Amino acid sequence: MIDSAIILAAGLGKRMRNYDPDTPKPLIKVNNKPFIQYAIDLLNEIRAKEIIINVHYKSDKILNFIKNLNQNNIRVSDESDLLLDTGGGIKKILDKYNINKSLVLNSDVIWGESDKELIVDMINSYPEEAEAFLGLVPKSNFRAFKDKGDFCKLKNNDLIRYDASSEPYVYIGAQIISQNAFNGIEKEVFSVNEAWNLCINKKTLKGYQFNTNALHLGTSELLNEYLKDDK
């Protein structure tokens, strides 16, 4: 079982500033609930013992939000002085708290009731040989995804970067990643994609398929479109 979970909430929020220039993306409300609350509620549902949230842009607002939750199992990894990017942020937390592997959620995903069972099954399905285990959906199930795809799945659920010869899959914003995924990376600031690429070379990047639809709301344009359609 995974005891620790990380919520990535330290982005610069540039793609949402046209929607709300004064609010960091994790605190923008969708259906009267901040983005980040969807992730927190999901982790509470699966009874995560420890939740660690990294912060950077407008961190004071996110810190105040967390404080008002009055939830004792939430810790903060403060990147106010230096944004570490996704990989650096995760690695810092794993190293600081001596966490072998952790569930990691993006803070801009609307997690629903059905996702609880999928996340629990993903945790229980974690392959022993994996160093990173990514939640994926087929591109056809990912509304508003404009690119060709993130990954392709091979036999044994090994992942490679997308190529046109196989069905494309898209990363859904949930993964389980271990300290070993970062072996060989010495720098402080880097994208988690660098760790994933190392895992691909070692055949330790695995995929878990979510049999659900997914929705990307990472930009102000997509959020406005969703809210308009949802009325």
For position 145, what pLDDT does the model report? 66
User: Domain of 219: which CATH number?
Assistant: 3.90.550.10
Q: In the structure, how many helices (H) and strands (E) does the chain have?
A: 6, 13
For position 230, what pLDDT does the model report? 53
pTM: 0.93
For position 219, what pLDDT does the model report? 67
For position 151, what pLDDT does the model report? 85
Domain housing 84: 4-230
Task: Report which secondary-structure segment, H or E, holds 101.
Answer: strand 101-106
**What are the 10-residue block averages of pLDDT along the chain, 231 residues in total?**
92 73 90 94 96 96 97 97 97 97 94 90 96 91 72 83 83 96 98 97 95 70 64 48
Task: Report which secondary-structure segment, H or E, holds 152.
Answer: strand 151-153
Q: Domain count for the chain, please give it.
A: 1
